[in-house]
Each structure stands twice: as structure tokens, then as C-alpha cells.
A = this chain, B = another copy of it.
Amino acid sequence: MSTVGKAILLLELFNVDEPELGLSDLARRSGFDKATTRRLLVALAGRGFVEQDAGTRHYRLGAGLSRLARIREARFPFLQTAVPLVRDLAASTAETVHLSEFGVDRLVTVNVEHPAWANRVNIDIGQLLPLHSTASGIAYLAFARDETVKACLTGSLDAFTAHTLIEPAAISRSMGEARERGYSICDQGYEEGVISVAAAIRGADGFALGTIAVAAPKARTTAAAIAERGLAVMEAAREISMRLNGENLQTLRRQA
């Protein structure tokens, strides 16, 4: 493994629940030697990718990451563009609406709006979603590059519930339906009792960048509501895609 890969692996040990970790802890979790771990941390700290708490001597992710992320966001203002539409969709559906962006081999939740219901689907910002077993994932795959789809379908797929589709053929069929329909439906594929619809947000090249989805408790969801939400989520995704790709509405290379 490259040294750079190791350094990044170290960064990825941090998460929202454990945002600060000590040296020994990082060494243990990464499997690297303590000396190696520290050398990597010092290199990362030198560029502001991690910071060390002066009191506890624990490490946390640094401001340098935020700076680079902001430069990326200037190129792809995914969040700013999508947030108002997420809010609108949450208001009109009165269910949980979440926005995801693709990263490496999963979807990353970047924004969520929860409804006022006590009984609702809860999703956290930063949460990672698998591609094969969520409405968002299927919507993404439906407009993903062939190599991404292939990478997803080769290798064993986890079954999260009794309803999770894990045969590549079944998932492909599901993708095809989503492509034709314009939105995906996932019935308890990731969590028991939750039904979701999602649509892909697409770049200028027609390939998916991320997704927008509505998730609701199955108990209060009718077939009619699913169809209605599907159209709404599709329309929101279309609007975000158009705003992202400039006013010059270039025809998307891959049509639905």
C-alpha cells in the first residue's frame, strides 16, 4: 500500500461519533506501527489535514481539508444548488428527504431534511449508503459509468434485510426499471419497514453525480404516494442537474 494511501486511511478513521483520537488508538485501529502512525500524522498536521489538541494531545481532522473541500465545492456547488430543492421536497412530501453524493464506491449523505412526525426515517449527514441496496444507490447505478456498475456487482453483496436484492441480475433489472421510469424504488432493501424513492442528479456528461431521495415508514405509505413522490423526486433531480450544468441546457448524453 502506498504511503499516501496509508495517510488517507488514517484520516478515514475519524468519524462524527469519534472526531478525536489519540496516537495509540489510531495506531491500533489502522494496524500501523506507532512510529509510522505518528510520522504520518506529523506530515498531515504540517499541511493542516489534522490538528492536535493542545490539552489532550489527541488528533482531529484539520482545517486544510475544509479549504480544499471548499475549492471543490466552487467547481461543483452541489450542496448550495440542491439544498433549496431538498427543503421544498421535504415540505411538499412531509417525509425525510436526503441528498447524496458519490464517493469512491458508496453514496455519502450530504444533506437531510426531516419531517415533524415522531415516526420518521432518520438519516445523518455523513452517513454512507451502499449502492446495491438503497433507492439512492439504484438510482445512481442506473446512470453510472459501466465500470462503476461492474465494480459494484462483482464481489459479494451484503444482505441487510430479508428483502435485499443481492443477485447481480436482480439488481440490473432494478436499475433498468429505474432508468425507464426516471426514479428508483427500494422496498425495505436496507432497513425493515422503510420504503424509499430516489432519482439521479446528473452531470453535463449525463452520468450520475449523486441522488435525491424520499424515505418513509412503509406503514403509512400507499402505492399512490410512491408514484407521486417518484415524480416529485425526479423533477427535483432534473432541476438540480440543470442548475448545476449551467443555463445552457446541454442535452444529456444518456437519455432516460
Contact = CB atoms under 8 A, between A and B. Distances in A.
Interface of A: 2-5, 7-9, 11-12, 14-16, 19-20, 39-40, 43-44, 46-49, 54-55, 60-75, 101-104, 108, 110, 125-126, 145, 205, 207
A44 to B, nearest CB: 6
Contacts of A16: 71, 74-75
A103 B70 CA distance: 13
Copies of this chain, count: 2
Contacts of A63: 72, 101-104, 108
A2 B55 CA distance: 27
Given A2-B3, A16-B71, 12 more contacts: A2-B43, A4-B4, A4-B40, A8-B64, A16-B75, A46-B104, A60-B75, A61-B69, A61-B75, A69-B70, A70-B125, A74-B126
A47 B14 contact: no
A240 to B, nearest CB: 16
A238 B212 CA distance: 37
A65 B62 contact: no
Contact of A20 (B2, B69, B75): B75
A39 B2 contact: yes
Given A2-B39, A19-B74, A110-B70, A8 B54 contact: no
Contact of A72 (B2, B66, B145): B66
